[in-house]
Structure 1
């Protein structure tokens, strides 16, 4: 899973330390510039086949980002908790991991799902 810049540096590092059952990639870890446009890094991430996690729940409404998601057949999840502390972000991701994995394993890409505060996955694209 690729965690975009909205997650900062500490959250992906904590996931790596915990030895999660998935590969953890991040904006900072890949050395992408902070101001890199979404469509540019989505292009790179999409070519690698990575699933994208973000708090930035707007790509379906942005022409360039949506085009990159569709063109590169990217699976995206908007995770709840942008303003939460890391522990609660971790809790939400862990709680919803099996549902996220099932979507990744069974659904044809491209797709975007929102993970709600009530721990439901709602399809956006």
Structure 2
């Protein structure tokens, strides 16, 4: 069973709901200080082979954080949607079979978006799954990783 690491931005209830559903979850608060820089915890998540789960869709646009995802081969899932965290967590659990299939088919590093089900599907079936989409593809070559890392460090521009 993969280990999910929930970012601090998902609070306490989100990981509790995932654990209650039988998923293995490590919380940010159990391993890092609240003000720990994202690139620090991303490096550790990659080192431990965990799957990072966040609600921060801006990670893709922050060079230092994107570089950490790539350099440390992090599989990163971004929960998409504006809803209370318990609602997002229940949608994540309902989508888990699709998420797991996605994880099995994709080698990190990557960033994928996890969506809730469409409102019409959720109305018809409370356990309707959402979808998972690759957002930032794997960087395949060492050169690409080096260039991105240098850019994140401000060495090229």
State whether TM-score is above 0.5. Answer: yes
| TM-score after normalising by structure 2 | 0.70
CA RMSD of aligned residues (A): 1.6
Give unpaired runs (5+ residues) of structure 1: none
Question: 1:71 aligns to what?
Answer: 71
Q: Deviations over 1:87-120 (max 9, x none)?
A: 3122211121011101111211111111224322
Q: Unpaired runs of 5+ in structure 2? A: 119-129, 137-157
CA distance in 2, matches of 1:43, 1:113: 18
Q: How many residues align?
A: 121
Moved over 6 A (4+): none
CA separation in 1, counterparts of 2:44 and 2:79? 21
Q: Report the Cα distance in structure 1 between the residues aligned to 2:99 and 2:18, rounded to whole angstroms.
A: 16
Between structures 1 and 2, the one with greater helix share: 2
CA distance in 2, matches of 1:34, 1:26: 11
Counterpart pick for 1:8 among 7, 11, 25: 11
Relative to the length of structure 1, the TM-score reads: 0.87
The structure that has the greater radius of gyration is 2
Q: Say whether residues 1:27 and 2:28 are aligned partners.
A: yes
1:58 is matched with which residue?
A: 58
